[in-house]
Amino acid sequence: MKYLVSGLLSVFCILILSINSVSAQSGELESKAPATQDKPVIRDKQYDFTAVEAGLKLIEELKRDKTPSEQQWDELFSLQAYQLIFAISGLTPKALKSRFNHAFKPSMNGEFEGLPSGERFEAQHLRNAVEELSWLPKYQQWLVENRAAGNATELAKTQLPEFDANRFPVSFTFGLFGQNAHAASMGVVLDPYIAYLSDQQAPYELAAHELHHFFYDSLYPEPLLNRDDPFERALYHIQKEGIANLMDKHHFLEAESPFDAEIKSAFRLEMQSVPANIIKLNNLMLAALDSSEETDFMVFQQALPYWGHTVGWYMAQTIVKADLQSELTQTISQPRKLFAVYNQAVTKLNTKQPIFSERVLQHYEHLSKL
Residue 74 lies in a domain: yes
Rg over alpha carbons for the chain, rounded to the nearest Å, is: 21
The mean pLDDT value for 35-56 works out to 80
Q: How many helices (H) and strands (E) in the chain?
A: 20, 4
Q: Are 258 and 197 in contact (CB under 8 A)?
A: yes
CA atoms within 13 A of residue 33's CA, in its CB half-sphere: 29
| Same domain as 133, residue 17 | yes
| Same domain as 234, residue 203 | no
Helix axes 230-245, 338-349, angle to 10 degrees: 60
Q: Are 65 and 107 in contact (CB under 8 A)?
A: yes
| Same domain as 141, residue 42 | yes
Residues linked to residue 188 through DSSP beta bridges, in sequence order: 172, 183
**DSSP designation for 228:** T
DSSP-based three-state secondary structure for 51: helix
Per-residue pLDDT band for 333 (boundaries 50, 70, 90) equals very high
Residue 250 lies in a domain: yes
Q: Which of 186, 219, 252 represents a domain boundary (last residue)?
A: 219
pLDDT reported for residue 195: 94
pLDDT reported for residue 8: 39
pLDDT higher than threshold 70 for residue 10: no
Residue 183 lies in a domain: yes
pLDDT higher than threshold 90 for residue 5: no
CA 253, CA 266: separation in Å to the nearest integer? 10
Q: Which of 219, 245, 260 represents a domain boundary (last residue)?
A: 219
Q: DSSP letter string over 252-270?
A: TTSTT--B-HHHHHHHHHH
| Same domain as 151, residue 68 | yes
| Same domain as 186, residue 242 | no
| Same domain as 262, residue 144 | no
Check the CA dihedral 76-81-82-87 and report its sign: positive
| pLDDT tens digits, 260-304 | 677 788 889 999 999 999 999 999 999 999 999 999 999 999 999
Residue 225 lies in a domain: no
pLDDT reported for residue 258: 66
Q: Which amino acid appears at position 328 of this protein?
A: L
Residue 304 lies in a domain: yes
| Same domain as 259, residue 119 | no
Q: DSSP letter string over 36-62?
A: -TTSPPPP-TTEE-HHHHHHHHHHHHH
Instruction: Give phi and psi for 153, each to the nearest 5.
Output: -60, -45
Tally the domains of the chain.
2
**DSSP designation for 39:** S
| Same domain as 104, residue 30 | yes
pLDDT reported for residue 77: 98
Q: Which of 188, 219, 250 represents a domain boundary (last residue)?
A: 219
pLDDT higher than threshold 70 for residue 32: no
pLDDT higher than threshold 50 for residue 306: yes
Residue 94 lies in a domain: yes
Q: Are 248 and 209 in contact (CB under 8 A)?
A: yes
| pLDDT tens digits, 107-166 | 999 999 999 988 998 999 999 999 999 999 999 999 999 999 999 999 999 999 999 999
pLDDT higher than threshold 90 for residue 233: yes
- Residue 187 sits at the vertex; the CA angle it makes with 167 and 192, to the nearest 5 degrees, is 125
| pLDDT tens digits, 172-204 | 999 999 988 999 999 999 999 999 999 999 999
Range of the domain at 262: 230-368
| Same domain as 236, residue 209 | no
**DSSP designation for 114:** T
Residue 224 lies in a domain: no
| pLDDT tens digits, 51-76 | 999 999 999 999 999 999 999 999 99
| pLDDT tens digits, 237-259 | 999 999 999 999 988 888 777 66
pLDDT reported for residue 72: 98
| Same domain as 257, residue 189 | no
In the chain, the N- to C-terminal Cα span, in Å, equals: 23
| Same domain as 142, residue 200 | yes
pLDDT reported for residue 123: 95
| Same domain as 88, residue 8 | yes
